[in-house]
């Protein structure tokens, strides 16, 4: 079983605080799938405005966390690391469903599997869970571009 700590993750993602949304990779199999986690702390900057009386993680950030896990899987599959002249972009997000709010103190488990890869376009099936309960699911499509 392959895993990655935060120091290894930083080699694969260009994101940094406050937009780095993967704390650990629990396991991955190149060309297949990844399981990662995000510890959702009350100290997250978005909680001060979303919502002060009921801190809920914004759904778009859950989808972004899934995309970051997908990016790590893609780079591991391509046997490369983050390059300053390359950026991975969303090209599609389909079937997004939010089943349950993610609250401060939750541990978000990110599960992403590669569905297909054609001519630089990657399609993934993604789901986020808290305490083994589905909170978000989506189909993600991403590609890389030189900048």
Q: What is the residue extent of each domain of the chain?
A: 2-146
Mean pLDDT of 61-88: 92
Strands (E), the chain: 2-4, 24-29, 33-39, 86-98, 107-118, 121-130, 133-146
Residues linked to residue 107 through DSSP beta bridges, in sequence order: 39
pLDDT of 52 higher than 90? no
Pairwise CA distance, residues 65 & 18, whole Å: 12
What is the pLDDT confidence band of residue 87, given thresholds at 50, 70 and 90? Answer: confident
Q: Is the pLDDT of residue 146 over 90?
A: no
pTM over 0.75: yes
DSSP bridge pairs for 28 = 2, 34
Closest by CA to 59, choosing from 114, 91, 99, 107, is 99
50 among known catalytic residues: yes
Question: Is pLDDT of 41 > 80?
Answer: yes
State the catalytic residue, choosing from 7, 50, 53, 54.
50
Q: What is the pLDDT of residue 141?
A: 98
pLDDT higher than 90, residue 95: yes
pLDDT band at 96 (very low <50, low <70, confident <90, very high): very high
Looking at every residue in the chain, the average pLDDT score rounds to 95
Predicted pLDDT of residue 49 = 93
For the domain covering 2-146, report its CATH number. 3.10.129.10
């Amino acid at each position: 079983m392959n895993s990655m700590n935060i120091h290894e993750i930083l080699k694969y993602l260009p994101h940094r605080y406050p937009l780095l949304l993967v704390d650990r990779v629990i396991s991955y199999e190149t060309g297949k799938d990844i399981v990662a986690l995000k510890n959702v702390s009350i100290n997250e900057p978005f909680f001060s405005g979303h919502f002060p009386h009921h801190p809920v993680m914004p759904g778009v950030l859950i989808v972004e966390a899934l995309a970051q896990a997908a990016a790590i899987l893609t780079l591991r599959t391509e046997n490369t690391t983050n390059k300053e002249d390359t950026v991975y972009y969303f090209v599609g997000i389909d079937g997004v469903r939010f089943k349950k709010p993610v609250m401060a103190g939750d541990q978000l488990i990110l599960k992403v599997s590669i569905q297909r890869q054609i001519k630089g376009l990657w399609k993934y099936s993604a789901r986020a869970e808290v305490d083994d309960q589905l909170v978000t699911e989506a189909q993600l499509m991403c590609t890389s571009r030189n900048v």
